[in-house]
Structure 1
Amino acid sequence: MTNRSLQKLQSLLLEIESNIINKNIKDSSISKATVGWQLDHSLKVFNVVCEVLAESNPSDYSSKLNTKRWLIFTLGTFPRGRAKAPQKVVSKNINISEKELHQRLERAKTGLNIIKTLEPHAFFKHHVFGNLSKKQTMRFLEIHTNHHLKIVREILCSH
């Protein structure tokens, strides 16, 4: 993993941490969800992806050309409101506590430290993008986390 991707992910986790105090803020014209929901979802994805990556068998890794992955990774952004997240990472709880968010954040920091030590062909199988190597997984986490933090920034700027 490159230092740049590691620093970027650490920076995004710090931004999540700094916004936990804003968890109850909402602007329905930007998102149906609160800031807390956006943070919770980002952390859930981060943690699940880190776990799957750590549990993968690098010798099972194979890569295929995926045009959607190529496009999204090149643009560095997801189109808003187009994707459907797996239920495992969608929070049904609209009253997420600061304690829960801090616990998920600490787990994400630990996960990031663990994946630093993994082999380059450790992988995460994404439901749309296919098998993502460790490097590609870091890029996915960066794009996904930043996508939700952009929504958070817009919500906060509207208040």
Structure 2
Amino acid sequence: MEKQLAELQEVIPKAGKLNEKVSRSEVGWHVDHSLKVLNNICLELKKSSPEDYKPSFSFKKLLVLTLGKIPRGIAKAPKGVRPPMEIKEEELYIQLENAKSLLDEIKRLPEKSNFEHPYFGRLDLKTSIKFMRIHTEHHLKIIRDILTN
């Protein structure tokens, strides 16, 4: 995830860029949302009770994790990870540093640490990390398209 975080950091100065042919949201929205997702998942993993973990099946989860892609324009960001109306670059840098720290911390968590995904159900640590990579890459692809089209 280091490369993904480095790319997010690289595009922060371009936060105001918009290309409505690609997305109705600016680059900063995608950066903010991606970082909120990373930080919130890490925090949930840290405070979870590994002994209470019970795997759950979801066809959507199986599809996304198998293909390693999230289709564009289908899901809506849950309220807790939606960016504010005004996105400030300095806030993005703070969230980025927080994400780096939290991602380092979760490496030492028990395997059964978990969080409840709004569409996929309960994910253990390994699956959560895989999802975070897929989700971040999804938004990085959108950002790349905004910046090149």
* TM category, shorter: over 0.9
Give the aligned length.
Answer: 149
Aligned-residue offset at 1:134 = 0.3
Where does residue 27 of structure 1 map in the other structure? 19
Task: Provide the C-alpha distance between the structure 2 equivalents of 1:38 and 1:85, rounded to a whole number of angstroms.
Answer: 11
Task: Provide the C-alpha distance between the structure 2 equivalents of 1:103 and 1:92, rounded to a whole number of angstroms.
Answer: 15
Which residue of 82, 107, 115 maps to 1:124? 115
Where does residue 57 of structure 2 map in the other structure? 65
1:97-145: CA deviations, max 9, x gaps? 1100000000100110110110000001111111101000001100110
Aligned-residue offset at 1:92 = 3.2
Matched, 1:101 2:75: no
Task: Provide the C-alpha distance between the structure 2 equivalents of 1:55 and 1:10, rounded to a whole number of angstroms.
Answer: 23
Where does residue 104 of structure 2 map in the other structure? 113
Where does residue 125 of structure 2 map in the other structure? 134
Question: Normalised by the size of structure 1, how large is the TM-score?
Answer: 0.91
Question: Normalised by the size of structure 2, how large is the TM-score?
Answer: 0.97
Q: CA RMSD in A?
A: 0.8
Where does residue 44 of structure 1 map in the other structure? 36
Whether the 8 Å contact between 2:57 and 2:121 is mirrored in structure 1 is no
Aligned-residue offset at 1:64 = 2.3
Whether the 8 Å contact between 2:46 and 2:109 is mirrored in structure 1 is yes
Name stretches of at least 5 consecutive residues in structure 2 with no aligned partner: none
Q: Which amino acid aligns with 1:11?
A: K
Task: Provide the C-alpha distance between the structure 1 equivalents of 2:145 and 2:129, rounded to a whole number of angstroms.
Answer: 24
